[in-house]
Amino acid sequence: MSFLELRDISKGYGPASARMPVLREINLSIEKGEFVAIVGYSGAGKTTLINLMAGLIRPDSGSITLNDLEVVSPGPDRGIVFQNYSLLPWLTVYENIALAVDPLFPNWSAARRRQHTEQHIHMVNLTPARDKRPAELSGGMRQRVSVARALAMDPQILLLDEPLGALDALTRANLQDEIGRICQSSGKTVVLITNDPDEAILLADRILPLSAGPGATLGPSIPVDIERPRDRRALSQDPRFQAIRTQIVDWLLGAGGRPTVTVSKRLTLPDLEPEDLTLPRTLFGLRREAKRRGAERRETVTL
Amino acid sequence: MKKSLQDIFFPFVGLALVLAFWQLIAGRSLERVRADGTSEEIRAGWIKDLPTPIDTWVKTRKYVLEPFAKREELDQGILRFTWYSLVIVGKGYFIALLIGTPLGFLLGLSKTFARMFDPLIQVLRPVSPLAWMPLGVVLFTGAGKAANDLGALFTIAICSMWPTVLNTAVGVRAVPQDYLNVAKVLKLSRTQTLFRILVPATLPYMFTGYRLSLGIAWLVIVAVEMLTGRVGIGNFLWNEYNNGLYTSIILCIITIGLVGFLLDRGMSLLERRIQGAR
C-alpha cells in the first residue's frame, strides 16, 4: 500500500436534505518522498481536501490512511502550512516555533529543543527576525515562519495549503524557490495545493488537477519529468514544461475539469402594478407597499 | 492653533461655560434687616439652596487642602475617604474578576452552559446595586459585625462582574478557528490549549470587560456606603446631605467623578498596552 492513500473520499457540507457535495470519488496514492501538487480552481474544495488529509475534518465516506494507519484526527505527523499562516500574533517567531517543538519532544533536553527551534528559524533565513512578532513581518516572512513551524514538528508528510496564495508575484517566486530547496533537502513527502500550474510544475514530481466544484474530483496524474534543480527562467522555455502546462490547463478547462455550476433560484417576477403614492401612509410604521402580484418562479440554470 | 493646544484650550472653555451656568442658577445669601432692626440671612436665586462655585470652594477647601487629615470619624480629608472606598472597591472588584473570568470562559466554550445560564445572566445583569445590597447583608448575617462589609463586597462583586463575564465569553467565541486548528495539529492538551491559545487570544476582550467592570464597581460603592454606613466617600456624601451641607455634596460628586475618570484612564492605558502587544 502507498504511503498516503485516499480511497473513494467524498465530502459535502450542509444539512442532509440539501447537502452540497464538495468532493467526490477522490482517489489518491502518494509514495514516500514524493512531492505531489494538486492544482485546481479557487473554491473547488482544495482546502477541504487538505483538511481531510490533516484530519481536521472527516470524510462522509471513504478512507484515508497514512502509513497504513487510518487518519481520524489531526496530529503532528502531518505538518500543515495554512494559507493564512495561522501564526499566533502574541508570540514571537521563536515562540511560535517553540510552541510546536516543546510539547512534541518532551523527552529532549531544553538545550536540544532550543537548538532544534533555532535551526529551523535559520533554515528559513529568519534568524535576524527571531524575536519579532508576526505583525512586524511581511507576508512572505510570516509564511516562512509557518513553513519552519511545520517542519520543526518533524512530520512524516508536509501539507501545504496554497502557501503562497496571498503573496505578491516577486515574493512568491522567491519563496517558491526556497520551499523547493527546503523540501528537496528535507526529503519529506509533500502535498502542495495551489491554483498556479507554473508553481506546481516548478516544485512537484507529479501533478493532479482538481476539477471545479461542486462535486470536484481529481483528474489524471501528470508526471513532471524535468530534472532538478529546476531553474525558473530556463523552465519556461523548456518544451516539456509547456507540454505539461498545456496538459493541466486543457484538462481543467476541458470536459473533465470544467466548472458546472447549477444555479437554482426562486425569482419573484417584477410587478406591473405601480405603487399608489396618493394613498396615505399607514400608521404604526406599516409602510405603504406595492402589491406584489408578480408570480414566483423557480429557475434552474446550468452553466 | 496647534492640536495639543486645542486639546487643552477647549476643555477649559467647556468647564468655564458650565461654571458660569452653575453660578447663574445658584442661590445667594442675602442679609435682610427686619423691622425691629435685627437681621436674618435668606437665600435668593433660581435654586435657592444650591451653593455657588466659590461658596463651594470656600466651605470645602479644608477637605481638599488637607486631603489625608483625620479630625474625627466623620470629618476627614477627602482623599482619606476616597481611599477607604477604593480599598473596598478593590476587594470587591478582585472577587468579581476571579469569578467573572472563568464564568466567561465557560459561557464562551460550552454551548450547553451558555444555554443554561445566559438567560439567567441577562435577568440578573440589570439589577440595581441598591436591590442587591439588602440581600448581601442578609446572606452574611451569620458573620455578625462583618455582615455589612461582606454584604458590600458581595454587592460590588455581583454588580461589576457582568461586563467581564460577557466580554470574556464574546472573546472566547471570537477566537479564530485557525488558532484552534494549530492547537489540534500540535495535539495540545486541554489545559495547554486553554493557557497557550485561548487565554492569550481572549486577553484583549477580557481587558475591555475588566475596564467596564471597574467603572461599575466604582459606581456601586457610593450606593453601598449610603446604605451600610461604612466610612467612605459615599457615606460622607450622605452624612453631609443629612447635615444640610450641600457644598460637601458637590465636592464629593466632583471627587467621585475624577477618581472614576482616572481609574478608567488607567485601565485604558493597560488595555492598549495589552492590545499593542499583538
Over residues A178-193, the pLDDT tens digits come to 888 888 888 889 999 9
Closest by Cβ to B200, choosing from A78, A82, A90:
A90
Q: Identify all chain A residues contacting B190, using CB atoms and an 8 Å cutoff.
A: none
The nearest CA of chain B is from the CA of A61 a distance in Å of 22
Contact A90, B179 (CB under 8 A): no
> Following CA atoms A121, A125, A129, A132 in sequence, which dihedral angle do they give, to the nearest 10 degrees?
-50
Nearest CA in chain A to B193: A99
- Using only C-alpha atoms, chain A has a radius of gyration, in whole angstroms, of 25
- Least Cα distance to A36 among A219, A251, A214, A178 occurs for A219
Residue where the block lists cell 466544484 = A213
**What's residue A88's pLDDT?**
92
What number of other Cβ atoms are within 10 A of residue A135's Cβ? 12
The pLDDT score that the predictor gives to residue A292 is 58
CA pair distance B74, B241, nearest whole angstrom: 13
Q: Which CATH number describes the domain made up of A4-253?
A: 3.40.50.300
B196 and A80 within 8 Å at the Cβ level: the answer is no
d(CA B57, CA B63): 10
pLDDT of residue B119: 92
ipTM of the complex: 0.74
The residue type at B12: F
Residue A259: the pLDDT is 54
pTM: 0.77
- The residue with cell 500543515 is A80
Q: Is A61 helix (H, G, I), strand (E, B) or coil?
A: strand
Per the CB < 8 Å rule, is B184 touching A73? yes
Chain A interface disruption, residue of B186, B187, B188, B273, most A CBs within 10 A: B186
Predicted local confidence at residue B4, as pLDDT: 76
Chain A interface includes B128 (CB < 8 A): no
Cα–Cα distance measured from residue A205 to residue A187, given in angstroms and rounded to the nearest whole number: 12
> What are the boundaries of each domain within chain A?
4-253
CB contact under 8 A, A86 and B179: yes
Write down the architecture of domain B78-276 according to CATH.
Orthogonal Bundle (1.10)
Chain A residues lying within 8 Å of B278, measured CB to CB: 89-90, 133, 135
| Residue-level pLDDT at A280 | 60
- pLDDT tens sequence for chain B (278 residues): 566 778 888 889 999 999 999 988 888 777 777 778 777 777 777 888 888 888 888 888 888 887 777 887 777 888 888 999 999 999 999 999 999 999 999 999 999 999 999 999 999 999 988 899 888 888 888 887 788 889 899 999 999 999 999 999 999 999 998 899 999 888 888 999 999 999 999 998 999 999 999 999 999 988 888 888 888 899 889 988 998 888 889 999 999 999 999 999 999 998 888 776 65
B174 vs A: CB within 8 A: no
Report CA-CA distances (Å) from B273 to A130, B203, B260, B269, B278: 22, 11, 20, 6, 9
- What is the per-residue pLDDT for A13? 84
Please name the residue ranges forming H helices in chain A.
Answer: 46-54, 93-104, 110-123, 139-152, 169-186, 197-203, 232-235, 239-253
pLDDT of residue B271: 84
Q: Residue B33: its pLDDT value, please?
A: 79
Q: How many CB pairs under 8 A join A and B?
A: 53
Give the start-end residues of each E strand in chain B: 28-33, 39-44, 70-72, 75-76
B140-174 burial, b at 16+ Cβ within 10 Å, e below that, comes to: beeeeeebbbbbbbbbbbbbbbbbbbbbbbbbbee
For residue A92, which residues of chain B lie inside 8 Å, CB to CB?
none
> Which residues of chain A make contact with B179, given a CB cutoff of 8 A?
86, 88
Cβ contact A81:A160 at 8 Å: yes
- Give the containing element (helix H, strand E) for A13: strand A4-13
In chain A, which residues have their Cβ closer than 8 Å to the Cβ of B187? Answer: 74-76, 103-104
- Which amino acid does the sequence have at B108? G
Q: Which residue, chain included where needed, has cell 446604605?
A: B227
Nearest to A299, CA basis, from A261, A271, A260, A263? A263
Query: Is there a contact between B256 and B222 (Cβ–Cβ < 8 Å)?
Result: yes
CA–CA separation, B158 and B128 (whole Å): 10
Instruction: Find the helix packing angle between B199-228 and B147-173, rounded to 10°.
Output: 150
Task: State pLDDT tens for residues A38-56.
Answer: 998 887 888 889 999 999 9
Q: What is residue B149's predicted lDDT score, i.e. its pLDDT?
A: 86
Residue type, B100: G
Indicate the angle between helix axes A110-123 and A93-104, nearest 10 degrees.
130
B202 to each of A293, B112, B260, how far by Cα in Å? 52, 20, 25
Can you count the helices (H) and strands (E) in chain B? 11, 4
For chain A, which ranges sit under pLDDT 50?
none
CB B85 within 8 A of CB B260: no
